[in-house]
Amino acid sequence: MKKSTSGLLAAVLIVVLGVLVYYTYEPVIEDVNLGLDLQGGLHVVLEAQEIEGQELQEDTITKSIGILRQRVDGLGVTEPNLYPQGDDRIVIELAGVDDPEEAVNILINTAQLEFWDEDGNVLLTGEHLTDARAAMQQGYNVAEVQLTFDDKGTELFAEATAANINQPLPIAIDEEVISSPIVNSVITDGRAVITGNFTADEAQELAVLLRSGALPVSFEILQKRTVGPTLGAESLESSLIAGLVGLIAVLIFMLGYYRLPGLIANLSLVVYILIVIAVMNSIGAVLTLPGILGLVLSIGMAVDANIIIYERLREELRHGKSLKAAIEAGYKRALSTILDANITTLIAALVLMYFGTGPIQGFAVTLTIGIITSLVVVLTFTRALLYLSGNISQNKKLYGV
- CATH code, domain carrying 171: 3.30.1360.200
End-to-end Cα separation, the chain, in angstroms: 24
- Rounded-to-10 torsion of CA 302, 307, 310, 314: -170
282 and 368 together in one domain? yes
- Whether the CA torsion 148, 154, 160, 166 is positive or negative: it is positive
pLDDT at 231 over 80: no
In a domain, 221, yes or no: no
Task: Kindly state the average pLDDT of the residues 28-50.
Answer: 78
C-alpha span between 94 and 99 (Å, rounded)? 11
**pLDDT at residue 77, as a whole number:** 66
72 and 30 together in one domain? no
Structural domain boundaries, residue 207? 111-214
**pLDDT at residue 53, as a whole number:** 64
330 and 204 together in one domain? no
Q: What is the CATH number of the domain that holds 45?
A: 3.30.70.3400
Counting Cβ atoms within 10 Å, is residue 35 exposed (0-12), middle (13-18) or buried (19+)?
Answer: buried
C-alpha span between 159 and 115 (Å, rounded)? 12
* pLDDT one-digit tens code per residue, 187-201: 888 888 887 777 887
In a domain, 170, yes or no: yes
In a domain, 223, yes or no: no
* pLDDT one-digit tens code per residue, 259-315: 888 888 888 888 888 888 888 888 877 778 888 888 888 888 888 888 998 898 888
pLDDT category, 178, cuts 50, 70, 90?
A: confident
Q: What is the CATH number of the domain that holds 261?
A: 1.20.1640.10
C-alpha span between 264 and 226 (Å, rounded)? 44
- Rounded-to-10 torsion of CA 331, 335, 336, 337: 100
In a domain, 292, yes or no: yes
275 and 356 together in one domain? yes
In a domain, 310, yes or no: yes
16 and 50 together in one domain? no
CB 174 within 8 A of CB 109: yes
- Rounded-to-10 torsion of CA 128, 130, 132, 138: -100
**pLDDT at residue 141, as a whole number:** 75
In a domain, 153, yes or no: yes
**pLDDT at residue 207, as a whole number:** 80
**pLDDT at residue 347, as a whole number:** 93
- In the chain, how many domains are there? 3
- Tell me the pLDDT of the chain averaged across its residues: 81
In a domain, 250, yes or no: yes
C-alpha span between 48 and 216 (Å, rounded)? 9
